[in-house]
Structure formats: C-alpha cells, structure tokens
Amino acid sequence: MTLDCFFAENNKVAVAFSGGVDSAYLLYAALKAGADATAYYVKSAFQPQFEYDDAVTIAESIGAKLRVIDIDVLSSPVIVQNPKDRCYYCKKMIMGAIRKAADEDGYPLIIDGTNASDDISDRPGVRALEEYGVRSPLRECSITKAEVRTRSNDAGLFTWNKPAYACLATRIPSGETIDAGKLDATEKAERFLASLGFSDFRIRMSEDKARIQINKEQFALMIENRVLVVDTLKKLYRAVLLDLEARDD
C-alpha cells in the first residue's frame, strides 16, 4: 500500500502531531494526497518549548490546521511515580485528549507517525495506541525513518534532518519521582547545551546529578566548553558528569 492509497481510503484524519520528522511528513503527505487532516498537538510539562515552536512553524509552512490541547500530566499519580511502563499511561492520557478533540471536530480516525524502522516491541506507549484504534500509515506502508527523511528533504520540510527527540520525562530514571522542578532543570540545561552548538544529545538526571550524553564528534566541543558547562549546569544539579560512551557508538 502507498500513502496515497491509504489516504484515498481514509480521507478524514486526525494527526497526532509532535512537530518531529515523522509526524511532520505524515501531515504533509495527508494534505498532499487531498485528505481532510487536522494536526493535534498535546502540550504538557513533558514537552520543551522548542518542540511546540517547531510544531507551529511546520504546520503554518504547509498550510495545515493545528489544534493545541493542554494536559496536566503531573496530575496523574501513576505518571508522577514514573514506573517502567510510564509511557503507556502518558500516551493513554495524550490519546484520550486527542480522541475527545477529534470527536468534537468530526474526525473518525487518529493516525500517528510510527514508521517501519521503529521497534514497537520495546515501546509501552504502543499499547495505548492500539486501545484507541490509532493507525500508523508510515509503518503500514513500510516507510522507514531514512525514507521519511529523504522524502521530507525532497518536500522542503525543515524537519527532514531534525534529530529524534524523546520527552523530558525520559531523562529521569524509572522509579524516580517526576516533578516540575526536575523537568524545568532538564529543559534549561538542554537548551543551554543547544545554544553552544550541541545536537542530538541527552542530559540524564539521577539523584540531582546530570549525566551528559553526546556523540563522539562533539567531545572536542565539550572539552572546549568544559568550565562553562560545569559552572552553568551546577546551578541546576549537584554534580555534572560526562558519559564517555558516545551516543552513536
């Protein structure tokens, strides 16, 4: 099946939209195929500001309708407790909010950007997608992440080379309570590293310590900025550590 065939059969869809490479291309493809599609962005404490900004920008650039839904993930005791399957409960809250909004807007089907390269066996959130009947056209049409990037580049989407991004809650180890302060520290710290030119990195938090994970090409940049990074991040964390196992190894 091709995406055009999918949207010919499903021409009225609600797109679960993050502003990342996959959902951006999916939204573009739906509109290009002539489908009636609206993007639904769920805004919470787990999403940094740049993700919201990117979602707004890409939706505007392709002329898509965008509905922003605010949810309070920290109001859920099980999410705050941060069990190993926290992603399931979070995704269930997100999809529940999208389902409610899509019903109000008259969209019978929700689709998401899961692609053929994603290992769904290790993603607790997939169970929530199944419970809400969410379909994944990229996966159903055997379109890989690499192909999504190529097609996005061909389409002129600025997201084509955007690094994969996982929500802020993933920086806090399973079993460690999530709160607004930890999420805020993570967002500030990662925004600071990005301002220095780092990309595709993570700052993991554990017991008030920051563990920085970068790719091997950026170790020299880290050494060059070591003092500044330590001085800045120690305003947010008790200690600052560099993980010597590169992210791309």
The values of phi and psi at residue 198, to 5°, are: -75, 145
**Which residue ranges make up each domain of the chain?**
3-161, 179-242
- pLDDT for 248: 60
- pLDDT for 122: 65
- pLDDT for 50: 93
H helix or E strand, kind and range, residue 225: none
Identify whether the C-beta of residue 61 lies closer than 8 Å to the C-beta of residue 34: no
Q: CA-CA distance, 137 to 115, in Å (whole number)?
A: 8
Residues 6+ apart with CB under 8 A from 166: 202
Identify whether the C-beta of residue 134 lies closer than 8 Å to the C-beta of residue 95: yes
DSSP character at residue 135: B
Distance of CA 248 to the CA centre of its chain: 19
Per-residue pLDDT of the chain (249 residues; tens, 9 = 90+): 899 999 999 999 999 999 999 999 999 999 999 999 999 999 999 999 999 999 999 999 999 999 999 999 999 999 999 999 999 999 999 999 999 999 999 999 999 999 999 877 667 778 889 999 999 999 999 999 999 999 999 999 999 999 888 899 999 999 999 999 999 999 999 999 999 999 989 999 988 999 999 999 999 999 999 999 999 999 999 999 999 987 764
Residues 6+ apart with CB under 8 A from 74: 45, 80, 178, 179, 180
Query: How does pLDDT run across 211-229, given as a tens digit for each residue?
Result: 999 999 999 999 999 999 9
The values of phi and psi at residue 96, to 5°, are: -65, -40
Outline where DSSP puts E strands in the chain: 12-16, 36-43, 65-70, 109-111, 202-206, 209-213, 239-242
Nearest to 155 by CA among 18, 27, 55, 66: 27
- pLDDT for 246: 73
Question: Residue 20 corresponds to which tokens in the numbers above?
Answer: 């990342």
Q: CA-CA distance, 165 to 153, in Å (whole number)?
A: 18
Q: Which CATH number fits domain 3-161: 3.90.79.10, 3.40.190.10, 3.40.50.620, 3.40.50.300?
A: 3.40.50.620
- pLDDT for 228: 98
Identify whether the C-beta of residue 23 lies closer than 8 Å to the C-beta of residue 113: yes
Query: How does pLDDT run across 127-172, given as a tens digit for each residue?
Result: 889 999 999 999 999 999 999 999 999 999 999 999 888 899 999 9
**Vertex 110, ends 135 and 21: CA angle to 5°?**
75
Q: CA-CA distance, 237 to 222, in Å (whole number)?
A: 18
Residues 6+ apart with CB under 8 A from 84: 124, 174, 175
The rounded radius of gyration (Å) of the Cα atoms in the chain is 19
- pLDDT for 249: 44
